[in-house]
């Protein structure tokens, strides 16, 4: 799978961030561990340490502290300071205790740390430095320079002993370095693949949301077109037929013809058809593109519910909703319509309250009913089709939908939508309940 340079750059940034944090931890721990040894070297008079050795130890420790403190410096710069100080402290430790102390462990640990904290190249460079240091001390042991300087007298000064120890040390270090390098390469490859796959999934989700939004927009536009055709076409034709029928009825009534009663019934049927056509047109296009039409549309919805279902439905408006964009206006109406229909069908309520609160930052729609909480909440579950539709509409306009069951009973469906010319589409999340 081929990945763009942006993916490799993202993975590199993640690895660098992790290495920087790990470097801070390692340097802080090393400073705490080496502090007693440095104090012993610098301030102990009875050990016979020359001042140049004490100065080197103190300088190495100060460099280490500087690398710990300057976290604003780049990772390579801090790494160089850290490993220079660490190798200097290791060299002083060898001059004190030789192979009996932990010097061999330090020479093995530092290349591993360089490989993990900086990279493969730095790790193998550290291996070379460790080999040079080991060889130097082996040569010093062979010339007898270390014979009288080691504080720990149990050390052997035989160069063969040091050479054998070096071979064993390399035999342990090199396989570890190779395995860690291969593991790090494999981990980097997995991270690149994972990052690339995540980007592809995000791109697919973004494209899916775009297509869903486009389908929704086309559907709403088609409904608006059909509503306009009904209003401007069929309704006008029916109105013209009604006027002709009324004129003919008046003419027949003036003549006292018996057919006037049939014309009266026909006129009533035409009036009912016109009313139904107007209701259908208004249902297909309930909200104008002007955001200020949301409140009147909700008022009409409340009157329709009160007339058809006999349930008291009132609107409470506060603030200004003019900052909403047309798409958000239409989706908010559809959400209110779905919540009201659910309350009428399932909540067994006697009263529905629509609250609309607007401001320059956001708009909040609340649809509250006094139905039984257990029954009213049935449609509020995340798996309900009505709730899924409302939640989808809310996410389409960058809003948040949640359901509440107040202590006094009933159910409240809430939707908060940010105002502005464009609302972002957030990642998918479940509908929250309170």
Domain final residue, candidates 204, 239, 262: 204
3-state SS assignment for residue 331: helix
CATH number of the domain enclosing 365: 3.30.565.10
Is residue 209, in this structure, part of any structural domain at all?
no
The pLDDT value recorded for residue 37 is 66
Query: What residues contact residue 303 under an 8 Å CB cut-off, 6+ apart?
Result: 313
Instruction: Kindly report the number of other CB atoms within 10 A of residue 15's CB atom.
Output: 15
Do residues 378 and 345 share a domain? yes
Query: Cα–Cα distance between 250 and 266 in angstroms, integer?
Result: 13
C-alpha triplet 212, 390, 396: angle, nearest 5°: 35
Do residues 298 and 272 share a domain? no
Instruction: Kindly report the number of other CB atoms within 10 A of residue 433's CB atom.
Output: 12
Is residue 113, in this structure, part of any structural domain at all?
yes
The pLDDT value recorded for residue 366 is 93
3-state secondary structure string across 116-163: HHCCHHHHHHHHHHHHHHHHHHHHHHHHCCCCCCCCCCCCCCCHHHHH
3-state SS assignment for residue 343: helix
User: Does pLDDT of 67 surpass 80?
Assistant: no
Is residue 126, in this structure, part of any structural domain at all?
yes
For the chain, give the percent of residues with pLDDT over 90: 6
Domain final residue, candidates 171, 204, 237: 204
Could you list the residue range(s) of the whole structural domain that residue 190 is in? Answer: 5-204
> What is the tens place of the pLDDT at every residue in 87-138?
887 777 777 666 665 667 778 888 888 888 888 888 888 888 888 888 887 7
Do residues 312 and 277 share a domain? no
Do residues 298 and 427 share a domain? yes
Do residues 315 and 268 share a domain? no
Do residues 57 and 130 share a domain? yes
* Mean of all residue pLDDT scores within the chain: 76
Do residues 96 and 234 share a domain? no
Q: Domains in the chain: how many in total?
A: 3
Per the model's pLDDT, the better-predicted residue between 425 and 263 turns out to be: 263
Do residues 248 and 100 share a domain? no
List, as one string, the DSSP characters of 15-59: HHHHHHHHHHHHHHHHHHHHHHHHHHHHH-STT---HHHHHHHHH
Is residue 369, in this structure, part of any structural domain at all?
yes
> What is the tens place of the pLDDT at every residue in 176-224?
777 777 777 777 787 778 887 888 888 888 888 788 777 777 777 777 7
Domain final residue, candidates 267, 284, 301: 284
Is residue 66, in this structure, part of any structural domain at all?
yes
Q: Label residue 420 by pLDDT band (50, 70, 90).
A: low
Strands 411-418 and 400-404: antiparallel
Do residues 195 and 339 share a domain? no
Do residues 225 and 348 share a domain? no
Do residues 194 and 254 share a domain? no
Is residue 249, in this structure, part of any structural domain at all?
yes
Query: Cα–Cα distance between 295 and 316 in angstroms, integer?
Result: 9
The pLDDT value recorded for residue 429 is 39
Do residues 22 and 150 share a domain? yes
Give pairs for 408-411: CB < 8 Å, separation 24+: 409/370, 409/371, 409/372, 409/373, 410/347, 410/349, 410/368, 410/369, 410/370, 410/371, 410/373, 410/376, 411/343, 411/347, 411/368, 411/369, 411/371, 411/373, 411/376, 411/377, 411/380
Is residue 214, in this structure, part of any structural domain at all?
no
Average pLDDT over residues 21-46: 71
């Amino acid at each position: 799978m081929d990945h763009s340079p942006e993916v490799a750059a993202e993975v590199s940034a993640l690895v660098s961030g992790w290495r920087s944090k790990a470097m801070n931890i390692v340097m802080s721990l090393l400073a705490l561990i080496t502090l007693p040894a440095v104090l012993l070297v610098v301030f102990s008079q009875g050990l016979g340490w020359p001042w140049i050795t004490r100065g080197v130890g103190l300088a190495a420790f100060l460099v280490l502290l500087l690398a710990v403190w300057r976290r604003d410096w780049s990772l390579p710069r801090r790494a160089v300071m850290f490993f220079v100080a660490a190798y200097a402290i290791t060299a002083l430790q060898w001059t004190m205790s030789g192979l009996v102390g932990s010097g061999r462990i330090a020479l093995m640990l530092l290349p591993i740390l360089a490989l993990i904290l900086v990279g493969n190249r730095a790790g193998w460079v550290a291996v070379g430095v460790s080999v040079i240091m080991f060889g130097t001390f082996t040569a010093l042991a062979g010339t007898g320079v270390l014979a009288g300087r080691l504080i720990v007298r149990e050390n052997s000064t035989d160069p063969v002993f040091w050479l054998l120890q070096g071979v064993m040390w390399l035999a342990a270090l090199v396989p570890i370095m190779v395995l860690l390098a291969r593991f790090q390469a494999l981990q980097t490859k997995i991270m690149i693949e994972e990052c690339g796959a995540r980007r592809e999934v995000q791109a697919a989700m973004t494209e899916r949301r775009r297509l869903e939004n486009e389908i929704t927009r086309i559907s709403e536009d088609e409904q608006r077109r059909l509503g306009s055709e009904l209003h401007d076409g069929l309704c006008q034709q029916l109105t013209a037929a009604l006027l002709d029928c009324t004129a003919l009825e008046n003419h027949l009534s003036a003549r006292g013809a018996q057919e006037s009663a049939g014309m009266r019934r026909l006129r009533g049927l035409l009036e009912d058809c016109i009313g139904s056509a107007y209701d259908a047109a208004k249902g297909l296009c309930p909200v104008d593109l002007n955001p200020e039409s949301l409140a009147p549309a909700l008022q009409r919805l409340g009157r329709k519910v009160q007339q058809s279902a006999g349930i008291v439905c009132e609107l409470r408006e506060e603030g200004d909703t003019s900052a909403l964009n047309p798409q958000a206006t239409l989706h908010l109406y559809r959400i209110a319509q779905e919540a009201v229909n659910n309350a009428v069908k399932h909540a067994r309520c006697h009263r529905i309250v629509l609250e609309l609160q607007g401001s320059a930052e956001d708009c909040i729609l609340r649809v509250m009913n006094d139905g039984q909480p257990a029954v009213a909440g049935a449609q509020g579950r995340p798996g309900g089709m009505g709730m899924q539709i409302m939640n989808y509409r809310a996410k389409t306009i960058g809003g948040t939908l949640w359901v509440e069951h107040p202590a006094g009973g009933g159910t409240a469906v809430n939707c908060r939508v940010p105002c502005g010319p464009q609302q972002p589409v957030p990642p998918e999340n479940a509908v929250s309940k309170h």
